[in-house]
Amino acid sequence: MSGIGPVEPVEPAESEHGHDVVGSDAPRLSDRWNRLSSRTRTATLGAAALGVTAALLFLPAPPSAAPRKPDLPPWPANVTSFSYAGVARRATPASPVATFRFDISVRSGPPVTVSAIKAGFTGLHARTAPNSSITVRAGTTRRIALEISVSGCSGLPLNPDLPFLDVTLRNKRAIQDHSFIFDGTYARDLSELLHTACDTPRPGARQDQAEVGVLKM
């Protein structure tokens, strides 16, 4: 009899050793849900809905848009214009005063009040007739009569190339001092006033010179 050694025990086929677990036979969620009663399922769904609603209520509110700044009216100097409309009265040697016409227009925005109009050169005095201030509404034009007189000829340019008017403009936005510059017809008409007042001696001045001549004799 040949020896074959001890007989090794054979593991049964259902032994847990040597097998890899690749899955689980635990009941799936859908199966468990189907096994629940309708009342339990309804209660569960209601609780879930309440939880979602509460979570939404406690979410931070989105940032609100910054308030829009109100649109400011335009600066009065940006919407106001002056245009020369000719001579209403010319000066004479006996009365060195002339009246000039100007049209004032406002393009947009609130009404603009025009005041403190000055002739621009030392030795000239300007006065509006009949009022010292004029209010012009947007889209309209107002004509004014500006009386300019010569109070002194010393230092006056008798042939100004670009005469100007200094004015004060006011609307709801601001008060501005502004200069309007002219050429062409207004420059020639103003030059005529200056020559009339400063080149031609007044009757009183001639009389004074005659009296001085008599005293010298």
Give the model confidence (pLDDT) of 84-127 as tens digits: 999 999 999 999 999 999 999 999 999 999 999 999 999 999 99
Tokens for 207, please give them. 């009389």
pTM above 0.85, yes or no: no
Give the model confidence (pLDDT) of 24-81 as tens digits: 445 555 566 566 677 766 766 666 666 656 665 666 666 666 777 778 999 999 999 9
For 179, residues 6+ apart whose C-beta sits below 8 A from its C-beta are: 120, 164, 165, 166, 167
CA distances from 105 to 13, 76, 108, 114, 192 (A): 110, 11, 9, 11, 27
Q: Which amino acid, one-letter code, is at 5? A: G
pLDDT at 63: 67
Give the model confidence (pLDDT) of 82-93 as tens digits: 999 999 999 999
């635990």: which residue's tokens? Answer: 26
Give the model confidence (pLDDT) of 199-212 as tens digits: 866 555 444 333 33
Task: Identify the band that residue 184 occupies on the pLDDT scale cut at 50, 70 and 90.
Answer: very high
The three-state DSSP-derived secondary structure of the chain is CCCCCCCCCCCCCCCCCCCCCCCCCCCCHHHHHHHCCHHHHHHHHHHHHHHHHHHHHCCCCCCCCCCCCCCCCCCHHHHEEEEEEEEEECCECCECEEEEEEEEEECCCCCEEEEEEECCCCCEEEEEECCCEEEECCCEEEEEEEEEEECCCCCCCCCCCCCEEEEEEECCCCEEEEEEECCCHHHHHHHHHHHHHHCCCCHHHHHHHHHHHHHHC
């002339």: which residue's tokens? Answer: 98
Range with lowest mean pLDDT among 9-13, 90-94, 165-169: 9-13
